[in-house]
Structure 1
Amino acid sequence: MLECHEWLEGEGGHDHVLELTYELRTRSRLRAVTEGGLDVGLFLPRGRVLAQGERLQCTDGSVLMISAAPEQLSRVQCSDALLLARAAYHMGNRHVALEVRAGELRYLCDHVLDSMLRGFGLEVEQITAPFNPESGAYHNHSHSVATPAAPFLRLAGHDRG
């Protein structure tokens, strides 16, 4: 069985591909099977979600690349930036893993969340696609606990008096 204990930084090649759902990519200990049929064990430090394209060093010297598996997602698309920001705010209040794209939000299918967003006037559609949510302000491995505050975002036409 291949074993992986550490991430490789930067870009480069790989010898094996491991396709995982988002839920499986949140685990630091995992036994799985690569696309080539090899058993692999992940023994990684806790607190980091495996992301699409990340590479792990295997104990035999080979390199394993992570691939995000297609999953059932809900998607909302909207050209109204304020409405989309409002939706993202409410999803964040619920600590929902959220993939943010230009004019679009994606999250794992949830009929309660779908209903909430429809209540805001958004159309929700179901898709099957890889899920790559934002890592979050406090989940980036390269920052210390003392991170600088994000700049204040001003939405056009909505200044704070």
Structure 2
Amino acid sequence: MAADLATTPLLATRVLPRGGGLAPALLTRAPALVLDWAQRQRSRFEATDTLGRRVGVVLPRGTVLRGSDALVLTNGDLLRVEAAPEPLLRVTPCPQHGTPGDLLRAAYHLGNRHVALQIAADHLQLERDHVLADMLRGLHLDVTEVEAPFEPETGAYGHHGSTHRHGHGHDHEHDPIASVDNGHRHAP
């Protein structure tokens, strides 16, 4: 019987986006599941936490995990989700003659190809692909191979749930058809 308990995985069935308001110290002490982007897009999988325990993850279909999320186990324990470093391309404007607007053009071309893309003010990151790297270099951008956590955009409708924080002081429900909310416009 003790052997059965040792091989039975723990079960995570709930996610707290960005830690769900839990104290940072509580999350820092929690064991972690270190997962790459492909794993974090799945709603059902098994992994091993940083304590060496098997964990079964069963979440609602379509759930995407992010680094800094917390998983709640059925026994009440918490697990931190960490984005694992993976092989990526980092794209930056050419320092000699480029502009930050060059990144916008690159994002447009990559979006037309439905490429998973992490967007920052000064760089883009995407999974390594030599064809895309050559295309980006042809747009006069610097392309560097890096090992880093990957947190790509999930699209306008791909967030954790229906409540979304904009960072300007309020939470609200998003209706993808709504065009006006609290004085600012959202594209339909």
Shift of 1:144: 4.1
- Higher Rg of the two aligned structures: 2
Which residue identity is paired with 2:154?
A: S
Shift of 1:133: 1.1
CA distance in 1, matches of 2:90, 2:186: 26
Ranked by relative contact order (alpha carbons within 8 Å, sequence separation 6 or more), the top structure is 1
SS in 2 for 1:112: helix
Following superposition, the deviation at residue 139 of structure 1 comes to 0.3
1:1-161 to 2 correspondence within 5 Å? 1-8=9-16, 9-12=20-23, 13-14=26-27, 15-78=30-93, 80-140=99-159, 141-142=161-162, 143-146=174-177, 148=179, 150=186
Letter paired with 1:110: D
Distance in 2, Cα, partners of 1:67 & 1:147 = 34
- Higher percent of residues as helix: 2
Structure 2 unmatched ranges of 5 or more: 1-8, 163-173, 180-184
Q: TM-score, normalised by structure 2?
A: 0.75
Q: Could you tell me the TM-score, scaled by structure 1's length? A: 0.87
Whole-angstrom distance in 2 between the partners of 1:144 and 1:6? 24
Q: Displacement of 1:61 after TM fit?
A: 0.6
Percent identity, please. 43
Which string of whole-angstrom CA distances, capped at 9 and with x for unpartnered residues, describes residues 60-102 of structure 1? 1101110000100001112612211000011111111111112
Flag structure 1 segments of 5+ consecutive residues without an equivalent: 152-161
**RMSD of aligned residue pairs (Cα, Å):** 1.6
Question: Distance between the aligned counterparts of 2:175 and 2:50, measured in 1?
Answer: 35
